Chains A and B, each alone.
Chain A
Amino acid sequence: MTGHTRPHILITGAAGALAQQVINRLRDTCDLVAVDFREQVDLGADIPSYRIDFTKRVFEDLFRRYEFDGVIHLGRIMSSQGTRMSRYNANVLGTQKLLDLAHKYGVSRVVVLSTYHVYGAMAYNPALIDEDAPLKGAGLSSDLVDSVELENLATIYLWRYPDLNIAILRPCNIVGPGVRNSISTLLESKRAPVLSGFSPMMQFIHIDDMADALVLAYTNQGHRGIYNVAPADWVAYQHALKLAGCRRLPVPSIPPVLPRTILSLLNLRSFPPYLMDFFKYPVVIDGQAFARDFGFKPRRPLKEIFRYYRESKT
């Protein structure tokens, strides 16, 4: 710790809706610096904001200037964006640079946002997957390699540098106003593809609850490690679409090459072929450890989440 009266926190991925929610929760009690590799975001006079590439040398100047106590790393390029190479550079190499600098400049708390996609979707997944389950995502799709590698990297730093006090959060589907990921785009749309005969169980967390979870993970510094973040509530994918007011667009599901070809031809950002198995097989995670260690209790029920999407269509 650098002994500031108010903690100095670097928040990455500032252009995203989730980061802005986190910033709003922390701005009264912390001195924040926001960065994003996509754009410079105007967050008011009290929060310096930068568009910066983590792999460039100028990034280190921020650590020198602001003497960060903590880092909340939300700046990931999602698997539905960019090329494999650009995602690898930003997500893996960028994160490595960030963690190296955090270690060099004495940061005492790092929260890393990961995704449940790292577990991979396959028919043999048990339900309520624990944090110590193997990460099969990379083996099942090369488009998820960067997500798994980011985690592996953060895990290596978690054990090699205990002083960084790293908490890695693996949330289920983050949804709600302003969220631009693939599942939120699907729920927003009037018609959403479904694989005929498959309606896997899914979990959803409202962006407000996820922002609360990130703030709890930052402020409750007594626990480090890897945590799933998901409410203890579940719904089948096709039922979720119905509640969100989406009409279902059935895609033939067998043989597997058929839906893959159709989805490649459709080229939907919200339903990319490599995420196809997540709409076929369940990846249900167990969020009990996070709820217990951090006192986390989501406030937004599933019905409220889907009501938002349904009403946004009228």
Chain B
Amino acid sequence: MSITSYLRDLIVPKSLEEQIARVDKPIGSLGYDPWGYNNETIKFGFSLVKPLYEKYFRVTAQGVEHVPAEGPVLIVANHSGQLPIDGVLIGYALASRAERPRIPRAMIERFFPTVPYLGNLLNQVGAVLGDPVNCAKMLANGEAIIVFPEGVRGSGKLYQDRYQLKRFGNGFMHLAMKHKAPIIPVGVVGCEETIPAIANIKPLAKALGVPYAPVALPFVFPAKVHLNFGEPLYFDDQELPEEQVTERVEQVKAAISQLIDKGLSERKRLF
């Protein structure tokens, strides 16, 4: 028995193997898809995230059933917390749902593929370089894609700006319209408190070639996370001037804002 298969038997419970096996994923003969997703690695990832999701962040997910069981869909959420913990938790919520689970894809920053080990690992658990061609091809492949239209503006924001939505890019709306993909708005509450940053050292970030260099404790706080999935929003594919596309983006932003408010009102305490 190889070390890998020994570790898999040790870490991955049988029930989880069955859960992953129930997910209908278009993969090749060796368990990979074109973006590097790997069916074996996802089992490890799933096993490692499970205690974080259930015990550490004690996530409450409401409305996850709104995500369609199949076909292209964009899961659009607010971004926060310096690290992409929000993406991991949304992905787990969908992959672990009882009825018709799905393993969604997350679009990641452009510098990740250049980082040894981490870049490949992220690809193997479903993350994909944030590129419009990738997103379009995955929607054409019927994938569910997690999108954070705020990008680093959202994840890198300071604690004093928590739960204030930054500017949304319009790219996701164009793709949703072109591929007739419904948009599921998601309000994430709690991730802002996981790594509260009080400042961003821009010259250091520039020198390191990273999007931001936060001044924060080197610790991830066990804030309780609330995920609120909204009902699907449908947009037709008519040719529109950019101004009207922005109006549609604002509708999605407003829906997310409402879901954040819902999460904040439901939250009893930070931890």
Q: Which residues of A contact B128 (CB under 8 A)?
A: 127
Q: Would A196 and B36 be within 8 Å (CB), given that A123-B110, A124-B110, A126-B129 are in contact?
A: no
Q: Which of A95-103, A228-236, A260-268 interfaces with chain B?
A: A228-236
Contact: A233 with B131, CB < 8 Å?
no
Contact: A198 with B119, CB < 8 Å?
yes
Residues 113-143 of A, flagged 1 when their CB comes within 8 A of B and 0 if not, give 0000000000111111110010000000000
Chain A nearest CB, measured from B25 CB (Å): 13
Q: In the complex, A233 Cα to B32 Cα: how many Å?
A: 8
- Asked whether any CB of chain A lies closer than 8 Å to the CB of B30, the reply is yes
Contact: B28 with A302, CB < 8 Å?
yes
Contact: A239 with B30, CB < 8 Å?
yes
Q: Pick the residue among A198, A235, A282 that contacts B116 (CB under 8 A).
A: A198
Contact: B137 with A236, CB < 8 Å?
no
Chain A nearest CB, measured from B30 CB (Å): 5
Q: In the complex, A147 Cα to B220 Cα: how many Å?
A: 50
Most buried by B among A234, A253, A281, A301: A234
Majority secondary structure of chain A interface residues (helix, strand, loop or mixed):
loop
Q: Which residues of A contact B265 (CB under 8 A)?
A: none
Residues 277-292 of A, flagged 1 when their CB comes within 8 A of B and 0 if not, give 0000110101000000
Contact: A196 with B29, CB < 8 Å?
no
Q: Which residues of B contact A124 (CB under 8 A)?
A: 110, 113, 129, 131
Contact: A234 with B33, CB < 8 Å?
yes
Contact: B30 with A303, CB < 8 Å?
yes
Q: Would A201 and B35 be within 8 Å (CB), given that A123-B110, A281-B113 are in contact?
A: yes
Q: Which residues of B contact A133 (CB under 8 A)?
A: 133
Q: Would A201 and B114 be within 8 Å (CB), given that A124-B131, A126-B134, A233-B29 are in contact?
A: no
Contact: B137 with A128, CB < 8 Å?
yes
Contact: A126 with B30, CB < 8 Å?
no
Contact: A232 with B113, CB < 8 Å?
no
Q: Which residues of A contact B129 (CB under 8 A)?
A: 123-126
- Asked whether any CB of chain B lies closer than 8 Å to the CB of A249, the reply is no
Q: In the complex, A201 Cα to B129 Cα: how many Å?
A: 13
- Asked whether any CB of chain B lies closer than 8 Å to the CB of A1, the reply is no
Q: Which residues of A contact B51 (CB under 8 A)?
A: none
Contact: B32 with A127, CB < 8 Å?
no
Residues of B within 8 A of A (CB): 28-30, 32-36, 38, 110, 113-120, 123-124, 128-129, 131, 133-134, 137
Residues of A within 8 A of B (CB): 123-130, 133, 195-201, 232-236, 239, 243, 253-254, 281-282, 284, 286, 301-303
| In the complex, the 8 A-B pairs of residues with the closest C-beta atoms, listed nearest first | A197-B116, A233-B28, A126-B133, A197-B117, A127-B34, A123-B113, A126-B131, A126-B134
Q: What are 8 A-B residue pairs whose CB atoms fall within 8 Å in the complex? A: A125-B129, A127-B34, A196-B116, A197-B116, A243-B30, A254-B116, A281-B113, A301-B29
Beyond A127-B34, A235-B28, A253-B116, 19 additional contacts (C-beta under 8 Å) are: A123-B114, A126-B137, A128-B133, A130-B133, A197-B115, A197-B118, A198-B116, A198-B119, A200-B120, A233-B28, A233-B29, A233-B30, A234-B28, A234-B33, A236-B32, A236-B38, A243-B30, A284-B35, A302-B28
